[in-house]
Amino acid sequence: MFRSLLLLALLAIVLPVVPAHAETPADAARALIKRYDEDLTRIDRARDLLEAAITKERRVDSLITLSYVYFLVGDVRARTREEKLAAYDRGRQVGERAVELAPRDEEAHLWYGINSGRWGQTNGVLRSLFLLGTVKKEIEIVLELNPRSVRGRALAGNVLMEVPRIVGGDRTEAEKQFRRGLKIDPHFTAIRVDLARLMIGDKRYDEARQELTRVVEETAPTNIADWTAKDRPKARELLESLRDKK
């Protein structure tokens, strides 16, 4: 018994201590924003945490997550057009840096493309056509890396829906992208809202009501924070706007 205890003591001295897995800044930020709908300031804390982290070390995962967080800042926290533009632009900048560091990373391309598209949409499509080539390129890369990317399909559909036909807009193809995304994940409520918006634009009001009702009544949303803070309120707003439409 004494010999066993002595051996254990000696081993403790000579063997290196293996540290527990350290949580990265990206892990901490994603944990914060997982249920950002419960406290919107979690988005701000995640942003500040990651901005501080990349001043010390420009990790790819930190840059990607920060690009995602700035998308949320623009969508949820920003109150004015100028604040939204600033958020999407910063998301675009850090997303581009992530792409430079990890040119085959799907998420890097995704959030760079999404923030670029959101910035252009907010700034005005016609004033932002210079970004169209960049957004299309990022969509192409995302879907090449992962054809089952639902967010990639949503981005592709939104670009096809929003830009004029003369520069590549195509509402029929947009609907195909939305439906492909929903086939992959029927509980991804953001893309169902996008499909309903397209139907409203095409005056297919009854179909739009069906899609929006599904969003409102969704019981297992893929992203519960997005559904609670953005998708369900938007669906209710659009349903109200259709009240007198036939």
CATH of the domain at 69: 1.25.40.10
pLDDT reported for residue 125: 86
In this prediction, residue 21 has a pLDDT band, given cuts at 50, 70 and 90, of: low
pLDDT reported for residue 148: 98
Q: What is the mean pLDDT of residues 180-203?
A: 98
pLDDT reported for residue 16: 43
Share of the chain above pLDDT 90, in %: 87
pLDDT reported for residue 6: 44
pLDDT, averaged across the chain:
92
Has residue 202 got a pLDDT over 80? Answer: yes
CA–CA dist 228, 220 (Å, integer)? 11
Neighbours of 83 (CB within 10 A): 13
For residue 124 the two structure tokens come to 């005005």
In a domain, 35, yes or no: yes
Q: What is the mean pLDDT of residues 25-31?
A: 98
CA–CA dist 178, 142 (Å, integer)? 15
* Structural domain boundaries, residue 47: 25-144
Q: pLDDT, tens digit, for every residue of 138-183? A: 999 999 999 999 999 999 999 999 999 999 999 999 999 999 999 9
pLDDT reported for residue 3: 52
In a domain, 84, yes or no: yes
CA–CA dist 232, 224 (Å, integer)? 10
In this prediction, residue 107 has a pLDDT band, given cuts at 50, 70 and 90, of: very high
Has residue 22 got a pLDDT over 70? Answer: no
In a domain, 15, yes or no: no
Q: How many domains does the chain have?
A: 1
Has residue 126 got a pLDDT over 90? Answer: no
Q: pLDDT, tens digit, for every residue of 81-90? A: 999 999 999 9
Q: pLDDT, tens digit, for every residue of 37-74? A: 999 999 999 999 999 999 999 999 999 999 999 999 99
Rounded to two decimals, what is the model's pTM?
Answer: 0.89
Has residue 208 got a pLDDT over 90? Answer: yes
In a domain, 2, yes or no: no
In a domain, 227, yes or no: no
**Mean pLDDT lowest among 10-14, 41-45, 212-216:** 10-14
Burial 167-199 (b: 16+ CB within 10 A, else e): eebebeebbebbebbbeebebbbbbbbbbbbbb
Taking alpha carbons only, the member of 35, 24, 21 closest to residue 60 is 24
DSSP class per residue in 83-120:
HHHHHHHHHHHHHHHHHHH-TT-HHHHHHHHHHHHHHH
Helix%, strand%, coil% for the chain, nearest 5? 80, 0, 20
In a domain, 43, yes or no: yes
In a domain, 181, yes or no: no
CA–CA distances in Å: residue 147 to residues 11, 48, 107 = 51, 33, 13
CA–CA dist 196, 204 (Å, integer)? 9
pLDDT reported for residue 245: 87
In a domain, 217, yes or no: no
